[in-house]
Structure 1
Amino acid sequence: MDYTIREMRTDEYPLLDDFLYQAICQPDTTNLAPKSIINKPELQVYIINFGKQKDDYCFCAEVNNRIVGAVWVRNINGYGSIDDVTVEFAISVFDEYQNMGIGTALMKKMLEHLKELNYPKASLAVQKENYAVRMYQRVGFEIVGENGQEYIMIHRLGNGND
């Protein structure tokens, strides 16, 4: 499948609502949470006023002029936060475009971008049963902790000290 990875434009940031909802691990597809779940404060930190903080970066995947995936980072107090200087990842790819390498390509693009900007590390949280754990490990994230149902993972970008 042909796809393009590019920076998401400011006028496309409202799409992060859909990608945040898609990023929520919901193993029971017969009992999905309502989309309004993304309005919870602990989830809104990932998208509210995106693009207005200095550490807000977003790339998207496009297929036939449709955005089908996104990866974004922010310096927030989120589920995968490890300190007050490390950016936290969020990523999702629409179901019908998963398992095609798009998520891996998005992750690699963001990691490359962060490395160019001299970030020393990045973090994320992922549900333990989420199949994406293996993909995160393949691109260089390592498990550094856990809290109940989630792993906390970091990627050392090799810039400075961590």
Structure 2
Amino acid sequence: MEVTIRELRKDEYPQLTDFLYEAIFVPPGTPKPEREVIHEPELQVYVENFGTGIADFALAAEVEGGLVGCAWTRIMNDYGHLDEQTPSLAIAVFEQYRGRGIGTKLLKTLLIQLQESGYSQVSLSVQKANYAAQLYQKLGFQIVKENAEEWIMAVTLNPKKKETL
């Protein structure tokens, strides 16, 4: 399976809502929430008016001409918010494509893009039970805050260490 990582085109921005829904962690044995949940204000910050902010970056993973994953950032007051200089990250890969390294490729490429754009760190929020937390730790994210269910994680983006990503 050949995977292409590329910038998400402006005409594809509306598809971020599909990836936002896919990014919602659902523990095994728990039913998925209704799709309408993505219209809640605390989730809309991830996609509303995407492309208008200075830290609005989005990458797509494409397989056989179709989008199968997306990683994007913006400076927003979301679950993983640290400060007004740190973009928050969201990432999702459609379930049938998980476990194939697509999320890792998306994330590594996006981290390099953020480094090259001059950002010193990026943050995210992840539920402790989410298997993706291991991926984040493997790529250098460290826990900076936590509550009973989730971690706020951040990774330092150091241009001198770009090759380690």
Per the shorter chain, which TM-score range?
A: over 0.9
C-alpha separation between the residues in 2 aligned to 1:30 and 1:55? 34
Question: How many Å apart are 1:29 and its aligned residue?
Answer: 4.9
Give the corresponding residue for 2:149.
149
> What one-letter code is carried by the residue in structure 1 that aligns with 2:76?
I
Higher mean displacement: 34-43 or 141-150: 141-150
Identity value in percent: 48
> What one-letter code is carried by the residue in structure 1 that aligns with 2:118?
N
Q: Which runs of 5+ in 2 are unaligned?
A: 160-165
Output the TM-score relative to the length of structure 1.
Answer: 0.95
C-alpha separation between the residues in 2 aligned to 1:55 and 1:26? 28
C-alpha separation between the residues in 1 aligned to 2:29 and 2:97? 17
Output the TM-score relative to the length of structure 2.
Answer: 0.94
Give the corresponding residue for 1:129.
129
Secondary structure at 2:123 match in 1: strand
Question: How many Å apart are 1:118 and its aligned residue?
Answer: 1.3
> What one-letter code is carried by the residue in structure 2 that aligns with 1:5?
I
Secondary structure at 1:5 match in 2: strand
Question: How many Å apart are 1:131 and its aligned residue?
Answer: 0.1
Give the corresponding residue for 1:41.
41
C-alpha separation between the residues in 2 aligned to 1:46 and 1:28? 24
Secondary structure at 2:47 match in 1: coil
Query: Could you report, residue by residue, the CA deviation over 1:73-128 in whole angstroms, capped at 9, with x for unpaired residues?
Result: 00000000011110000000000000000000000000000111110100000010
Q: Which runs of 5+ in 1 are unaligned?
A: none
Question: How many Å apart are 1:148 and its aligned residue?
Answer: 2.6
Secondary structure at 1:32 match in 2: coil
Question: How many Å apart are 1:32 and its aligned residue?
Answer: 1.4
Say if 1:93 and 1:148 are closer, same or farther in 2 by CA, change over 3 A: same
Alignment of 1:57-72 (within 5 A): 57-72=57-72
Query: Any runs of at least 4 consecutive aligned residues in structure 1 with deviations exceeding 3 A, and if so which?
Result: none
